[in-house]
Amino acid sequence: MYSNKITISFRILKKMIAVALILGVYSCRSTDISLLHPKTKIETLLPALIPTFDFESFGKRFPHFLTIGSDSPPSIAYGSFTVLTKNNSHVADFNIIFQRDVEENICVYDTYGQKKGTIMCSLIDARQVDKGWWLIPSSCLFFIPNLLGMPLGASESEMQIEVTIFDDQHHLVGKYRSDVHKKKTYVAAYWGYSEPETRNYLIVFTKCMDEIKRQIANDYHRLSTALQ
């Protein structure tokens, strides 16, 4: 009888921990929309340029649709496997940041005036690594440390981009490449982020653009003359 009570209590405890973990994970902060609004501005703006985003280079690393394993519709069956496709918003977010950077932080804003050339953003490389080695020790302790604030995992992303500027005759007048920038974000109950990969990539893309804006600012006089 006593052992049965212990077993029942243990089962109840496991259910309580599972519910707490689920609630904790879903209470994680979502990605801050302000990340889509770059703030760093070069001191003297370039003449108006047409922002051009190299979707092909980004699409090779971030395909428009992601395919993930799932048992939930809508799905497509391939033999004994079931997959789910969902829209990949990374490229759209990068494009938004780049367009705003060009129009607000790099060039003179001129909606109807003549543009002096184009400015294009391309992806050199990007990768993302999920780190969750502590799940094993956490499970051995019934995830109690995670309820006290220990991370459930971590996600680290890195990226390198290139920005090229052409005059109105399509002549290359500037090419700027960022260093590889990295960002790690933790997933934890109550204080982590629910979509760390998305947040990381927005941050590292912004860091890459900030570095390139510094390079453009240092090369302003030569660029300004070439674009006249």
Helix (H, G, I), strand (E, B) or coil at 79: coil
Q: How far apart are CA 45 and CA 216, in angstroms?
A: 10
162-200 confidence digits (pLDDT tens): 999 999 999 999 999 999 999 877 665 554 445 556 788
Query: Which residues, at least 6 apart from 57, have a Cβ–Cβ distance to it below 8 Å?
Result: 122, 123, 124
Check if the beta carbon of residue 174 is closer than 8 Å to that of residue 165. yes
Per-residue pLDDT band for 81 (boundaries 50, 70, 90) equals very low
pLDDT at site 13: 42
77 lies in a domain?
Answer: no
Tell me if 83 is assigned to some domain. Answer: no
Measured distance CA(145)–CA(143) in Å, rounded:
6
What sign does the CA torsion over 141, 144, 148, 154 have? positive
Q: Is residue 70 part of a domain?
A: no
Report if residue 74 sits inside a domain.
no
Residue 134 lies in a domain: yes
- CA 132 vs. chain centroid, Å, equals 19
Amino acid letter, residue 45: L
d(CA 163, CA 204): 15
The reported pLDDT for the residue numbered 50 is: 94
What is the domain count for the chain?
Answer: 1
The verdict on residue 40 lying in a domain is yes
Percentage of residues of the chain with pLDDT beyond 70: 59
Asked whether residue 75 is assigned to any structural domain, the reply reads no
CATH number of the domain to which 41 belongs? 3.30.160
- Domain interval for residue 145: 2-63+89-227
Burial class for 87, CB neighbours closer than 10 Å (0-12, 13-18, 19+): exposed
Distances (CA, A) of 134 to 17, 27, 101, 120, 140: 17, 20, 39, 42, 10
How does pLDDT run across 91-144, given as a tens digit for each residue? 889 999 999 999 999 999 876 778 999 999 999 999 887 765 555 666 565 555
User: Would 78 be classed as within a structural domain?
Assistant: no
Q: Rounded to whole angstroms, what are the CA distances from 207 to 58, 67, 95, 196? A: 17, 28, 15, 16
pLDDT for 33 beyond 70: yes
